[in-house]
Amino acid sequence: MDRLDNTVRPYAWGSTTAIPTLLGTEPTGEPQAEMWMGAHPGAPSRTGRGTLAEVVDADPEKELGAASAAKFGPRLPFLLKLLAAGAPLSLQVHPDLTQARQGYEDEERRSVPLDASHRNYKDANHKPELICALTEFDGLCGFRAPAETADLLDGLGIASLKPYVDLLRAHPEDAALREVLTAILTADPEEMSRTVTETAAACDRLGGAYAPYAAIAHHYPGDPGVLAAMLLNHVRLQPGEALFLGAGIPHAYLDGLGVEIMANSDNVLRCGLTPKHVDVPELLRIVRFEAGDPGILRPEASPDGEEVYDTPIDEFRLSRYVLPEGSGVHDLTLPTPQILLCTAGTVRAGEHELAPGRSVFVPADETAEVSGNGTVFRATVRL
C-alpha cells in the first residue's frame, strides 16, 4: 500500500483551524477548506511511485482490480476529502449521469473552454456525494415542505416576501417550489438586495429557527441565495452522522468538519451564496422540486466491526472502523481499490502508522491489515 501526501485546497469558505487541529499542525492563518485524497486531475495525491493518477494510469487493472476497471473505466471512481467549512459554501445541485453527459457534450460542441467561468460541465460524470460529520456539522439539504416555508417567511413580517408566501400556499408542491425559486433568482437585483437585507435583519432579531439564515446573510449580504436557502431544510449532524446528496438535491454546507466522498466529478450548478456564475435556466432543468426529510444516515454495523454508510451509489462505498485498544488485527483486503483514512487515535495499516488526517491507498487484492486504537474510514467502490 502507498502512503498518501495530499493537497489542502485554500478555498475562501474554509476553516483556518479545523484541518490543522486534526493533523496536529500549526494553522497558517489562511483558510484550509478541503484535503483531497484520490486521483482527481485537479489535485491528485502523491505517492512514492508518482501521483496516484500516474500510478493508476500505468496499470489500471492491477491497481483498481479487473472488475472495477471494467465497470467504471481505467480511473479511480471516487474522490475522498476532509472538508472543513468555516463559512457557508455555495448553494448548489449536481446533475445525474444523463444530464451530465448531455451538458458536457453540448458545451464541447459549442467550444466552451473548460476553464471558462460560465462553463457548467467540466466532465461527463455525475457527482453524488456523502458527508459524514467528525464534529457537529451544519448544512442545508433538500426542500422543506412549502407550507412550512410559507409560515417561516410569513413570520418575518416583511411585505416584499408576501408574494412568495402566497405562491407557496396556493400551488401544488412542485409548482410552488419551482415558481418561488425562479422568482428569487430572476428578481431585479437591487430590489432583491433590499429584501435580503431586510430579511437578514429580521432573522437576526428573531433568532431560533431563523438564526442559521442570519448567519448565512452575514457572509453573503444582499445575495438572493439567502432567500433560496430559506426554502431548504436546516440540518445539524452529530459526529458519526451523515447526509447523502443525490442528483438534483439543492444543498449547502455551513459549518463543521467532515469526511466527504463523491463520484470523481467536478460538475456543479450554483443557486447562490457565491460570486461565481449562476446559470438559472440550466439550474432549473437540474433541480428536483420535491420536498422531504433530508434523511440523516447512521452507520449500520456488521459482525466484523465495519460500520457502513449505505447509499444507492456504485462509484463509492464509505465505512469506518472504531478500533478499541487490544482489538487485534482486522483484515480489510478487498478485490477493489481502497483509501484508508485515520481520523482519531493511532492506526497501523500494513507497515504504515497513521495519525489523524493521514491516509494510504491500497490497490485491489493487496493485503490490508489494520490494528491500533483509533478510527479509520474506508473508501472503496461497490461491485
Active site residues: 270
Cβ contacts of residue 191 below 8 Å, gap of 6+? 160
**Phi, psi angle pair for 351, to nearest 5°:** -90, 0
Judged on CB neighbours under 10 Å (0-12, 13-18, 19+), 327 is middle
CB atoms within 10 A of CB 345: 17
**Do residues 232 and 143 make contact, with C-beta atoms less than 8 angstroms apart?**
yes
Between CA 165 and CA 147 the distance in angstroms is: 9
Between CA 349 and CA 358 the distance in angstroms is: 11
Question: Which segments of 35-159 does DSSP mark as H helices, in order?
Answer: 52-58, 60-64, 66-72, 97-109, 146-154
**Do residues 107 and 138 make contact, with C-beta atoms less than 8 angstroms apart?**
no
